[in-house]
Amino acid sequence: MFRPRIIPCLLLKGAGLVKTIKFGEPKYIGDPMNAVKIFNDLKADELVFLDIDASKESRTVSFELVKKIGDEAFMPFSVGGGIKNTEDIKKLFSAGVEKVVINTGALENDGLIKKGADIFGSQSIIASIDAKKDANGDYSVFSHGGTKDTGLEPVYAAIKMEKLGAGEILTAAVKIPVIAIGGAGGLNDFALAIYKGRASAVAAGSMFVYSGKNRGILINYPDREELEEIFKDKKLKKIC
């Protein structure tokens, strides 16, 4: 039975784990290493770590922290944050990262995605595209942790990254695998993203770190039986 990847997307602010809602003020939710241990026990498919301040502060995600994550994580994980050149990519792979996530660096330097894909392979490069409404109410691509409007139309940016050699993209409208992220409130939303949105994998943040209406911090992950049930044909027909 087909079962897509379900990926917790965890936000870093320095050495701490945080969560934002629609690029809003980050809220501290704990130690990333504790989160990794819990997701190990819960048998998560993959993890994604994104340092939300790295590009804004003109620095790279902490290689020391990434190395610690690599030593602890049982599952494949991807990392993004302030990646500016292939040397940064090489260091992250040396620390145990399976894929790198590039956002601002790709928008500021067209050659970074292409060079990274040429050296390390397209399968190891994820181009992340943050799309939100601009002052006119139209969707635009934002960089630097969602703070700088590039003026680029999201579909155009996605297709461009695909042509440059990205192996996966955090958006839609391309032929390469797409990881859908943003706004998931339950497992049914994952099924909709896969079968109606045609994503190849789904990622979420709040759903895996909060619990209940009051958003109490509780790291969680659906078990195999829940995931198999939601992606059964009969269940999907009711949802989609």
In this structure, are residues 52 and 18 in contact, taking their beta carbons and an 8 Å threshold? yes
Distance CA 34, CA 31 (A): 5
Q: Is the pLDDT of residue 234 over 70?
A: no
Question: What was the pLDDT predicted at 199?
Answer: 82
How confident is the model at residue 176, as a pLDDT?
63
Query: Pairing mode, if any, of strands 210-211 and 201-204?
Result: unpaired
Distance between CA atoms of 229 and 198, rounded to whole angstroms?
19
**CATH code for the domain of 121:** 3.20.20.70
Strands (E), 22-109: 27-30, 47-51, 77-80, 99-102
- Quick one: which of 42, 51, 104 has its CA closest to 74? 42
- The answer for 89, left when phi > 0, alpha when psi is -120 to 50, beta otherwise, is alpha
Q: Give 32-85 pLDDT, tens digit per residue.
A: 999 999 999 999 999 999 999 999 899 999 999 999 999 999 999 999 999 999
Report d(CA 161, CA 34) in Å as an integer: 34
Q: Which amino acid is at 25?
A: E
Angle between helices 110-120 and 86-94 (to 10 degrees): 40
Candidates 92, 178, 167; CA nearest to 125 is 167
pLDDT-derived band at 194 (thresholds 50, 70, 90) equals: confident
Catalytic entry in 51, 53, 88, 130: 130
Mean pLDDT of the chain: 87
Q: Reply yes or no on whether the pLDDT at 239 is more than 60.
A: no
The fraction of the chain above a pLDDT of 70, given in percent, is 91
| pLDDT classification of 98: cutoffs 50, 70, 90 | very high
Is the model more confident about 184 or about 164?
Answer: 164
Instruction: Provide the 3-class DSSP secondary structure of residue 12.
Output: strand
Q: Which amino acid is at 221?
A: Y
Tokens of 229: 């049930």
pLDDT higher than threshold 90 for residue 197: no
CA angle 140, 160, 95 (to 5 degrees): 95
**Which of the four pLDDT bands, split at 50, 70 and 90, describes residue 215?**
confident
Beta bridge partners of 12: 17, 51
Question: What pLDDT, on a 0 to 100 scale, did the predictor assign at position 2?
Answer: 62
pLDDT value, residue 229: 82
Contacts of 24 (CB under 8 A, 6+ apart): none
End-to-end CA distance of the chain: 18
- Percentage of residues in the chain having pLDDT higher than 90: 49
Ramachandran class of 232: left when φ > 0, alpha when ψ lies in -120 to 50, beta otherwise: beta
Q: How many domains does the chain have?
A: 1
130 counts as catalytic: yes
Domain range spanning residue 37? 5-239
State yes or no: pLDDT of 124 exceeds 90.
Answer: yes
**What is the residue type of 114?**
K
The residue type found at 27 is: K
pLDDT of residue 233: 57
